[in-house]
Amino acid sequence: MKGNEAIAEAAIRSGCGLFFGYPITPSTEIMEYLAKKLPQAGGTILQGEDEVASINMCYGAAASGARVMTASSSPGFSLKQEGLSYLAAAELPVVVVNVNRTGPGLGGLGPAQSDYFQCTKGGGHGDYRLIVLTPSKGQELYDYTMQAFDLADQYRNPVLILADGFLGQMMEPVELKVRSREELPPKEWVTDGCRGREKRKIASYALTNEIGEANCLYWQTKYNQIKDRLQRWENFYADDAEYLLVGYGTCGRIAKSVVLTARQQGVRLGLLRPITVWPFPEKAFWGLHERVKGIMTIELNAGQMIEDVKLAVQCKTPVHFYSRQGGMLPTEREIWQAFCRTFQLALTEEEL
């Protein structure tokens, strides 16, 4: 199935009963698939008049305790930022998908990772964070979407699936695994009618500065807890590596081919593929400077994740950068050549 369809199917199988969205290439198939299948599963899908309406419908649905999702692509995702900020403040569990296309502006339809800052550093106003998962293939689009619903409920926080147009449009076999229900905290905060119990309120407004500060400190405690528990990454030949590539999503999987090429040539290259980009997997980089001579990030932007990598290695290891932008993808050979150039590894024409 298509990557977008894998996300949609995972949502249905996670008990997501509501979807509000506004279609945009290259994420449209999520909505298209759900329009066909979600009603059959007893759920409801509604096209809002725009992205702003859709994300706010999600706010209402999540406040009533429902599992809910929305999906968009870069320009549409930008329109959802205000809503995301409110969701984060109200601590509402909503799963949001951004199938990144190119930007800025209307951009193009090709694959890109140029929304990295927007997705990991906020995007909307205020000091909030989304949990951001970055799948790299069809099966992961399915698996991570399932996990996203549990994580959202577990931490009472919006969770973002960050993919790109390539992943969304690509068709790969996906095993429709059944996920065992995780022990999740009971939703004792939902506003689903107060007959027979005390009134509850979900709001994001602090009437005094003292309450405002207390709220901020509370959110940061939660974010620190997530940072502590949730950093995820894949280690691909990184244990004995002299050089490291760092890439997520599509770049992460292309980089795997580069690692295998390098190993054939006797170069000890490894890959760290972040699975969460917030929280960024800093733990994966601890102590690396004692062994690793250099790092190169592979991105589909002008250099965004590289900042997190530099912070993670505390500038003790040189960090370089290679990218294609505007909808283009690097080939395995381009990355390998860039890697050899960067670290001045002399290779014959044939080896390149």
Partner 1 sequence: MMDKILLAGFGGQGIMFLGKVMAYAGMLNHREVCWIPSYGPEMRGGTANCSVMIANEEIYSPVIEVADAGIVLNQPSYEKFVSRIKPGGVLVVNSSLISLGSQRPDIHLIDIPAGQIANQLGNDHLANMVCLGAIISKLALIDMETVQQAMQFLIGKKKPELLALNLSAICKGIEYGYGSGLHPI
Residues near partner 1, by CB under 8 A:
25-26, 108-110, 165-166, 169-173, 250, 253-254, 256-258, 260, 327, 329-333
Report the nearest approach of partner 1 to the CB of residue 347 (Å): 18
Q: Which residue has the tokens 């945009």?
A: 24
Report the nearest approach of partner 1 to the CB of residue 261 (Å): 10
Residue among 252 and 279 whose Cβ is closer to partner 1: 252
Angle between helix 138-155 and helix 3-13 axes, rounded to 10 deg = 40
CA dist., res. 84 & res. 72, Å (int): 13
Report the nearest approach of partner 1 to the CB of residue 26 (Å): 6
Residue among 67 and 324 whose Cβ is closer to partner 1: 324
CA 239, chain centre distance (Å) = 25
Residue among 108 and 318 whose Cβ is closer to partner 1: 108
Rg of the chain in Å (alpha carbons):
21
Report the nearest approach of partner 1 to the CB of residue 57 (Å): 28
Whether 161 and 141 have beta carbons less than 8 Å apart is answered as: yes
Residue among 173 and 186 whose Cβ is closer to partner 1: 173
Residue among 124 and 165 whose Cβ is closer to partner 1: 165
Nearest C-alpha neighbor of 70 from the set 135, 144, 167, 161: 161
Helix (H) / strand (E) containing 117: helix 116-120
CA dist., res. 244 & res. 269, Å (int): 6
CA dist., res. 182 & res. 15, Å (int): 13
**Cβ neighbours of 121 (radius 10 Å):** 14
Report the nearest approach of partner 1 to the CB of residue 250 (Å): 7
Report the nearest approach of partner 1 to the CB of residue 290 (Å): 28
CA dist., res. 349 & res. 336, Å (int): 12
The pairing of beta strand 294-299 with beta strand 243-246: parallel
Residue among 115 and 164 whose Cβ is closer to partner 1: 164
Report the nearest approach of partner 1 to the CB of residue 173 (Å): 5
Residue among 85 and 250 whose Cβ is closer to partner 1: 250
The pairing of beta strand 18-21 with beta strand 95-100: unpaired
Report the nearest approach of partner 1 to the CB of residue 163 (Å): 13
Residue among 67 and 256 whose Cβ is closer to partner 1: 256
3-class secondary structure for 186-212?
Answer: CCCCCCCCCCCCCCCCCCCCCCCHHHH
Whether 274 and 246 have beta carbons less than 8 Å apart is answered as: yes
